Structure formats: C-alpha cells, structure tokens
C-alpha cells in the first residue's frame, strides 16, 4: 500500500517558521506525500519549493476557530488559490452550527466551494465540540454545499480524530463526500486503522515516521 499518497503532510502551529515550511516541502518531495498542508500565508513559499514535483499545496482557511465572517473566509480562500493552493481545508462556523443556524453554515460552505471551483474543498467540522447528531448535521450540510471532503479536526481542539466519529461521518455523507481524518494520528497502526475504515486522506505532522514504520 502506498500510504504516503494518503498523507497531507502538515504544519499549522503558530510558531512555524519559513525554515519549517522548507523542511516540510523537502520531506514531502522525498516521501512523495499527497500534499503539504500549511497556513495560507505560507502558500507562495510552499508552491515555489514544490515546483516540478507532484506534491499539491493545501491551505487552511478560517483556521483554527472558524469564527470569522464568511466574507473574510472567502477572501482568504481566493488569495490562497491565487498564491497557488490546489486544495482548501476550511473550518465551519461551529457557533453557528450550535445556534442551529444551519442555512448560514451551508451557505458559507457553498460560498467557499464556489470560490474553489473544481479544486478540492475539505470541510473541518471539529468533531470534539459536537454531539453525534451535530456531526451528522455538519456532514450533511457539507454534502449539500457540494464539498469534496468532510474532515474530523483542526488538531487544535480538545481532541482529534476518533473512530466512532468517522463512522458517524461516513454514514452521514453516504458516499457523496470523502473523509479526511486528522488530529492525533502519530503512528502507523492508527493511520492504517483509519484507512481501513474508509478515509481517503490523513492529516498528520508525523508522516515521515509513519512511512518509515511501514518500511520496517
């Protein structure tokens, strides 16, 4: 199995420096990861350093809280795409979902998908803050808004990916969107268990050690 092709090689911490991004890109080339996932300010740097490789650049938007205006998220998306991002991972407005403003949540995802066009949009629903019913609803709203993926977590909440939440998401999207597991995926066993459960992508900063573990 080419586990490397499931991995979005990720660095999103506030302290990430330009050197960290260069190292991330170097590792992504070396291990042929599917993409690097970075904060949007680093898209131009990542794009430049991945030229000539087939590693994609993925940018997060509205990260990590999701509590910005829709207009701000759309602008950030458009700028990231202009700078060379090929995939966008957006955070939903969790407060709006919990306020039962479902139409607003769906419209925001749709507005961002409209900006993304035929490129890939992943919707981070931050499962650690949601009940199973809310996870179902958020996943269904993402599908209605034509998102390509639903994603478990930012990695900055109180918890990361959990198998029981993957099952809820899988049932909710019913094959109409793919699933990305992220948050706390640090070893081969965990990554493989999610892939076996049907996730199409893994977001992790431990991609190198996961691939090395597989080679052993």
Residue owning tokens 């919990």: 98
**Short-list 130, 168, 124, CA closest to 149:** 124
Give DSSP secondary structure letters for 146-178.
T-SEEE---SSSS----HHHHHHHHHHHTTSSE
* Catalytic center residues: 89, 151, 180
106 HSE (CA, 13 A, CB side): 12
Residue with tokens 């190198």: 208
Residues ≥6 apart with Cβ < 8 Å to 202 = 6, 7, 8, 180, 181, 182, 185, 191, 194, 195
Rounded to whole angstroms, how far apart are CA atoms 76 and 37? Answer: 15
Residue whose token pair is 């070396």: 30
Place of tokens 């207009």: 71
Q: Where do the H-state alpha helices sit in 57-123?
A: 70-82, 94-98, 102-116
- Distance, in Å, from the CA atom of 114 to the CA atom of 119, rounded to the nearest integer, reads 10
């Amino acid at each position: 199995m080419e586990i490397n092709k499931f991995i979005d090689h990720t660095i999103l911490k506030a302290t990430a420096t330009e050197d960290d991004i260069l190292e991330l890109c170097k590792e992504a080339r070396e291990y042929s990861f599917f993409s690097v996932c970075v904060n949007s300010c680093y898209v131009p740097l990542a794009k430049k350093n991945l030229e000539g490789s087939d590693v994609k650049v993925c940018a997060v938007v509205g990260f990590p809280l999701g509590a910005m205006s829709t207009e701000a998220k759309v602008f950030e998306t458009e700028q990231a795409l202009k700078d060379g991002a090929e995939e966008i991972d957006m955070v939903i407005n969790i407060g709006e979902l919990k306020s039962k403003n479902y139409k607003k949540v769906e419209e925001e995802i749709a507005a961002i998908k409209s900006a993304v066009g035929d490129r890939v949009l992943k919707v981070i629903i931050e499962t650690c803050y949601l009940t199973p019913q809310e996870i179902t609803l958020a996943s269904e709203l993402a599908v209605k808004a034509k998102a390509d993926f639903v994603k478990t977590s930012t990695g900055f909440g109180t918890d990361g990916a959990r198998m029981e939440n993957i099952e809820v998401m899988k049932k909710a999207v019913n094959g109409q969107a793919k699933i990305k597991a992220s948050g706390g995926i640090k070893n081969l066993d965990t990554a493989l268990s999610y892939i076996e459960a049907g996730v199409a992508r893994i977001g992790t900063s431990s991609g190198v050690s996961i691939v090395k573990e597989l080679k052993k």
